[in-house]
Structure 1
Amino acid sequence: MDLDAVRTFAAAAESGRFQDAAAGLGVTQQAVSKRIAGLERDLGVRLFTRTARGAELTIDGQAFLPHARELLRAAERAVASVRAGSRPLRVDVLTSRSAGSGLMRGFHRAYPGIELDVVMLFDVGTAVEAIRSGAIDASFRAVAAPGRPLPEDVRSVRVLDEALQLLTGPAHALAGARSVTVAQLRGHRIWMPGIVPGTEWAAYYEALVEKFGLTIEATGPNFGSDALLDTVADTPGLATFMGECTRLVWPAGHGLRRIPVTQPAPVYPHSLLWHRDNPHPALATLRTHLAAGGTGHDATGTWVPEWVISH
């Protein structure tokens, strides 16, 4: 049904004169007559009777008027539901304990009036498709792994370089160190069961192993962070990597240590991805907020894979 015709019908019904309806709608009286005639053909009934005083609703017109008004209200609600800024900003943070999640918590504290919808998607391919389809507005990811360039309509900006730390149990050979060099990690077993082939974080750790000759094992089922912490605490021969911004809590009796890695310091590069044509005003606010709080990238003494986008 032609909503312009329905809107014209409602305006004419309220004013009682086609001329007044035309003035209110900013169209000619001829256009009003043409729209209403078309609506009458679609409905198969007469909606108005012409009189000396103007136009009066027929019985069918009276019956149709409340439904016409509801149609127009529904159309207004439909437009409002997708109007820029009227819905929450939807952002993918990968996991609830990730650096991206922490950045969004900081954004929420700075802008509590902006509604947010935080989601957690699995890999960069899924996130990019969600950005392109409009299912999400932005995503925190490491880009772009070899052979997986970003589509031309997806933009990115590097927002955080997160230093890796070595997590050990109290009986590990490196547990007492204030810091460890990458060279000191050679020969030690670093267990990371959450590495999934084909993901951007798998590509990152593959590059780390290739560059520095480390031993990273992804064997065994991934029972989550709590099981990982229990195993590392109880096994002197195992350690794991975690980002310095990763939020984890463990029992005091575990005696776990978070040890900085240096010479060079491997950093995990987090970028914000979004669609170039996304009009959501809160997205621009988020980008400005992240730019203001960001630190320098590719700092002296740090390492990232060669495929990481530098800007």
Structure 2
Amino acid sequence: MSDGRPAIDLDLRLVRYFTVLAEQRHFARAAALLHITQPSLSRQIRNLEHQLGVRLLERTAKGSHLTEAGEVFLPEARALLRSAAQAAARTRAAAQPYRLIVGYTADLIVTPAVRSVRDRNPDADVQAVHLHWGQAREALLEHRVDALIARLPLATDGLHVTILYDEPRVLAVALDHRLAGRESVTLDDIADEPLPRVPDAAWNAYWRIDPRPDGRPAPGGPLVTAAEDKLELVAAGQAVAIVPGGLRGLRPDLTTVALEGIAPGHVVLATRSGDRSRLLAEFSRAARRHLTSS
């Protein structure tokens, strides 16, 4: 029953722009993740605010923060995007019952498991797509991928997560760094070394080991949104970084040193809780069989 007010025809693309900006709290970083220009993002957010008739963000010289209306709209926006993605995915699944899309992050290799499923199901459409680490979980929940191979940390609510293998966490340094060539180092050895930060708090806690075991905060460091920028800072001697020991193709101007007393990282397979498709079950078996640290 209508309340007399005109219906609002929301543009889902603008809603998605808002959610990314709300997570980043910074127009430049959000624009970079969305692969659009900062002025364009500003215009799109203003368009969304005009559609809703409310102001969603307050812009400041240091970034942006959500208004009270923005705080209310954010979880609704996420739910709206998720519902739209689920509707589209279920519709496609009805027309393409033999489709599986596997997402993967960073330099993780999924080819052996994907090929195994494809070879056993020649009529199926089995694809692999690379995902930015900061958007991988949402891609899974929004049905843009059906399975995800990624490194922890990863928020697990709504997901089923299986550890495939462990890999050590090591220290990446420039070739001319004072610690280069050491057999191993401890956290005390890098107590004053800057480490790059990312916008994700859980990721910072895990990969910067922040706080340290004795409760001290990890030293500060420059903010980055891309792994390539982090490695550039390390190569330039402006920081050191804790990275996965299984990282492939490390830059030739960098080296790694073992970190003592640090628990290993984990490479995992994540799927949506409750998904029971035959192809997904087959991929899960193939991942446990073929995707290892060797």
Structure 2: 5+ residue stretches without partners = 1-91
Residues 140 and 146, structure 2, Cα contact 8 Å, conserved in 1? yes
Provide the C-alpha distance between the structure 1 equivalents of 2:258 and 2:219, rounded to a whole number of angstroms: 17
* Counterpart position of 1:186: 191
Residue 132 and residue 243 in structure 1: after superposition, are their counterparts in 2 closer, same or farther (change >3 A)? closer
Mapping of residues 210-289 of structure 1, within 5 Å: 210-211=212-213, 213=216, 215-220=218-223, 222=224, 224-235=226-237, 238-251=239-252, 254=253, 256-262=254-260, 264-289=261-286
Q: Aligned residue for 1:135?
A: 144
TM-score using structure 2 length: 0.54
Instruction: Report runs of 4+ in structure 1 exceeding 6 Å deviation.
Output: none
| Contact preservation (8 Å) 2:151, 2:266 | yes
Say if 1:164 and 1:110 are closer, same or farther in 2 by CA, change over 3 A: same
- Pairwise CA distance, 1:250: 2.6
Letter paired with 1:257: T
Return the offset for 1:284: 1.5
- What amino acid does structure 2 have at the position aligned with 1:233? A
**Residues 163 and 269 in structure 2, CA contact (< 8 A), matched pair in contact too:** yes
What is residue 45 of structure 1 aligned with on the other side? none
Could you tell me whether the CA contact under 8 Å between 2:169 and 2:242 is conserved in 1?
Answer: yes
Counterpart amino acid of 1:168?
V
Distance 1:171 1:246 in 2: 20
Would the alpha carbon gap of residues 106 and 192 (structure 1) be closer, same or farther in structure 2, given more than 3 Å must change? farther
Q: Residue in 2 aligned with 1:291?
A: 288
How much has 1:120 moved relative to structure 2? 0.9
User: Could you say what the CA RMSD is over the residues aligned between the two structures, in angstroms?
Assistant: 3.5
For residues 63-212 of structure 1, the aligned pairs below 5 Å read 81-83=95-97, 86-87=98-99, 89-95=100-106, 97=107, 101-102=108-109, 104-111=110-117, 113=119, 115-123=126-134, 127-141=136-150, 150-151=157-158, 154-187=159-192, 189-193=193-197, 195-198=198-201, 200-205=202-207, 207-211=209-213
**Bigger radius of gyration:** 1
**Partner Cα separation in structure 2 for residue 219 and residue 144 of structure 1:** 20
- The superposition leaves residues 22-50 of structure 1 with CA deviations (integer Å, 9 ceiling, x where unpaired) of xxxxxxxxxxxxxxxxxxxxxxxxxxxxx
How far apart in 2 are the matches of 1:79 and 1:282?
12
Query: Cα deviations across residues 270-302 of structure 1 (Å, max 9, x unaligned)?
Result: 322212432432321222133335779xxxxxx
- Per-residue deviation at 1:142? 5.5
Unaligned runs of 5+ in 1: 1-77, 297-311
Partners of 1:149 and 1:226 lie apart in 2 by 26
Per-residue deviation, 1:134: 3.2
| Letter of the structure 2 residue corresponding to residue 204 of structure 1 | Y
Q: Would the aligned equivalents of 1:168 and 1:257 in 2 still touch at CA under 8 Å?
A: yes
Q: CA deviation at 1:91?
A: 2.2
Deviations 1:46-84 (A, max 9, x none): xxxxxxxxxxxxxxxxxxxxxxxxxxxxxxxx887332x
CA contact (8 A) 2:117 2:279 kept: no
Q: Which amino acid aligns with 2:144?
A: A
> By how many angstroms is 1:231 displaced?
3.6
* Structure 2 Cα separation of the partners of residues 79 and 106 of structure 1: 24
Closer, same or farther in 2 for the Cα pair 1:119/1:167, shift >3 Å? closer
